[in-house]
Amino acid sequence: MSDDPATLVSTRWLAQRLSSPDLRVIDASWYLPDMDRDPHAEYAEGHIPGARFLDLEDVSDARSALPHMAPPAAKFMSRMRKLGVGDGHTVVIYDGAGIFSAARVWWLFRLFGQRAAVLDGGLPKWREEGRPLTSDKPTIRDRHMTVAPRPDLMRDVTEVAQAAKLGTAQIVDARGAPRFRGDAPEPRPGLRAGHIPGAHNVPYKTLFDADGTMKEGADLARAFIAAGVDLDRPVITSCGSGVTAAILNLALARLGHKDHSLYDGSWAEWGMYPDLVIERG
């Protein structure tokens, strides 16, 4: 599949445009505690020239007890203004894991009616190809961003429970198979193990080729179809806390799927409440 500034672009595509005045590159690296990595320190040590660092927690809803929930529109606009990212910019998002947290920030851009792309293979591929890195921070000037929120791209627990009961949408879980089955404990304390009734399991890592780039065409579609997902029907994605679910949304967008949303609370919410039914196995 070709480069698409609304979904995924290659390292070559980005390298050819680094000097463009309308390009904005965002380092959205974020890691789970067991990854033992510091995204702030890694950015300071070396990042793609011109990249601005975006802390995922800083662009989340601080009022929620759930991890990194989508922020109010005003907060998203405020954080983008501080990064100098606004209307008319071509936005490319990457992270230090390959394609991980960058997809979540891509989804936030879509949620607020803005276009952005994820760098295919992320910083690991950029480094592997010997492309330039810098420790210099870019000069940032405020830029206004106009948002047009798309609530249809996000689902809450009530909507997900209804979809699970009535079968109006397929729930697709991005967690690894042991966690989905309930064989492995959840990393967050106090959560039950298992999955939403009727959910399909498409572990996000199955969407990548060996070099960390996203699969294409029939190979990408096959990852969903093999899990029993009907690509002609609506999809609600889920995961542990709404981060890797966005990788599924990115893949669905690449496949031209038009009706997919993300369960923002994901298992951090569903697994918390004993009155919500779970399945195991």
- Which residue is it, tokens 């793609």? 48
Whole-angstrom distance, CA of residue 45 vs CA of residue 128: 16
Supply the residues annotated as catalytic.
239
State the pLDDT confidence band at 34, using cuts at 50, 70 and 90.
confident
Q: What is the 3-state secondary structure (H, E, C) of 21-67?
A: CCEEEEECCCCCHHHCCCHHHHHHHCECCCCEECCHHHHCCCCCCCC
Count CB atoms within 10 A of the CB of residue 209.
13
Question: What span, in angstroms and rounded, lies between the C-alpha atoms of 173 and 175?
Answer: 6
What's the confidence (pLDDT) of residue 101?
98
pTM: 0.97
Per-residue model confidence (pLDDT) at position 1: 66
Q: Packing angle between helix 245-254 and helix 217-225, nearest 10 degrees?
A: 130
Q: How far apart are CA 117 and CA 9, in angstroms?
A: 6
pLDDT tens digits for range 102-153: 999 999 999 999 999 999 999 999 999 999 999 999 999 999 999 999 999 9
Average pLDDT, the chain: 97
Q: How does pLDDT run across 233-242, given as a tens digit for each residue?
A: 999 999 999 9
In tens, the pLDDT along 64-106 reads: 999 999 999 999 999 999 999 999 999 999 999 999 999 999 9
The pLDDT value recorded for residue 234 is 98
pLDDT at residue 249, rounded to an integer = 98
CB contact at 8 A, 195 and 178: no
CB-based contact 262:160 (threshold 8 Å) = no
Rounded mean pLDDT, 212-220: 97
| Cβ-contact 159, 85 below 8 angstroms | no
**Could you tell me the domains of the chain?**
8-149 (3.40.250.10), 152-270 (3.40.250.10)
